[in-house]
Amino acid sequence: MSEKLMSKKKPAFPISDKLHAYLNEYSRNTQIPIFYEDLLRFAGSTVLYDKNDEDTLWIRVFYNEFDRQEIDMSLKRVYSSLHSDGSDRILQFLNVDAIDFCTFGNSQPFRVKVRNILNDNYTYFYVKKADASRIYGLELEHMLSPYNLNFLVYKDTLIEEHISGIPGDVFIKEMLPDCTEPEKAQIAKEFVKFNERCMIRLLGDMRSYNYVIVPTHDFDHVVYRIRAIDFDQQCFEGKFKVYRPQFFKENRVMVDMVRNKLQRSSVDQYKVEERSIVAKRLIGYHERIEELLDCAKNDTISYEDHVEHLKMELLEFVQDVEFKKAQNMGEVLEAALDFVKRNYEDVSMKRLLHGSKGMK
């Protein structure tokens, strides 16, 4: 089912001057001492296996001695820019323990492990080829989801912080069977809200390995959240189902759990809650969202046939003529977000008027 939904290969779209200006305004653009292409000069590699001796599709790469010294220092400076004030004073306390390269997927990222030598705490960040789709996806996730994201762009290189969590496919296979029944109901609720959030902001391809489950201990129980970790498929595909995680076979266990654990009325309630939360964030980030949408409307981030197909499916789904007017993916996205915000404001106004009448 997933293969039929998705295009075989999504191209990387260049970052326009207008989008670069936006990134500069909001401190996402910066100068860094290394490019994605620099990391491609590795001299050798070895396959990385997981605890079950299965291929992770990541390889650990190695560089010759001269390149390694230069690359290590550059990556330490990138870490300082991403997580600190960008100065050199912390560099002496950092060590680059590993550089891994992913051979799977569109972005083919490098994953860098940086360790603090004073206490052995470590973290990861990613070096990727910059893609306009991913930039729009990261910015929308930052503004419209419950989670802030930290990333930097320099020309055609993207630096992303690591998003912690248990990969969805691993969680579903190894941990979900041991969850209690109340925990499964709570995870089902989160999947409904995650599904709605992806649909609203047109984030596609949320198969189980493209999101993580984040468990958080809260008093006497564990609360589970779902976070997207892959943003390549922001506003690209022409099939509406691609933007709804429920339609991927990799998420079938989650969909079945929603069906078994939640009543229809509860599912509808959680959808309304998520739409309302997204609408509030749209209002709170109004100016910044408008600037980002202006970039997207003047950009090319999909194919014409994808735009035509998606806008007609959305027109049929929500019966809003604004979708029919859209000329590109930026305008389709704007129509989708405006539809959610208008509906929230209409309901809020009716509630306000009803309350005013009751007070008289």
Kindly provide the b/e burial profile for residues 59-86, where b requires at least 16 CB atoms within 10 angstroms of the residue's own CB. bbbebeeeeeeebbbbbbbbbbbbeeeb
Domain boundary among 134, 161, 188: 161
- Alpha helices (H) in 87-131, listed in sequence order: none
Same domain, 108 and 174: no
pLDDT tens figures, 268-277: 999 999 999 9
Same domain, 66 and 133: yes
Same domain, 60 and 83: yes
Q: Which two tokens mark 323?
A: 């979708």
Same domain, 173 and 151: no
> Is residue 4 domain-resident?
no
Q: In which domain, by residue range, is 148 found?
A: 14-161
pLDDT tens figures, 191-238: 999 999 999 999 999 999 999 999 999 888 899 999 999 999 999 999
- The pTM assigned to this predicted structure is 0.92
Give 315's pLDDT tier (boundaries 50, 70, 90): very high
Q: Tell me, what's the pLDDT at 2? A: 46
- Alpha helices (H) in 97-161, listed in sequence order: 132-144
Same domain, 245 and 192: yes
Domain boundary among 161, 190, 218: 161
> Is residue 2 domain-resident?
no
Give the bridge partners for 152, in sequence order. 159
Give 4's pLDDT tier (boundaries 50, 70, 90): low
Same domain, 177 and 156: no
pLDDT tens figures, 64-99: 998 999 999 999 999 999 999 989 999 999 999 999
pLDDT tens figures, 36-52: 999 999 999 999 998 88
> Is residue 1 domain-resident?
no
Same domain, 191 and 236: yes
Between CA 309 and CA 73 the distance in angstroms is 48
Same domain, 127 and 253: no
pLDDT tens figures, 112-149: 999 999 999 999 999 999 999 999 999 999 999 999 99
Same domain, 132 and 202: no
> Is residue 192 domain-resident?
yes
Same domain, 180 and 51: no
> Is residue 7 domain-resident?
no
> Is residue 6 domain-resident?
no
Same domain, 237 and 182: yes
Same domain, 135 and 173: no
| Pick from 36, 43, 208, 38: nearest CA to 109 | 36
> Is residue 339 domain-resident?
yes
- 3-state DSSP assignment of residue 298: coil
Please answer whether residues 34 and 74 qualify as being in contact, where contact means their C-beta atoms are separated by less than 8 angstroms: yes
Domain boundary among 136, 161, 186: 161
Q: How many domains does the chain fold into?
A: 2
User: Beta strands of 162-303 (E only): which ranges?
Assistant: 166-167, 211-218, 221-228
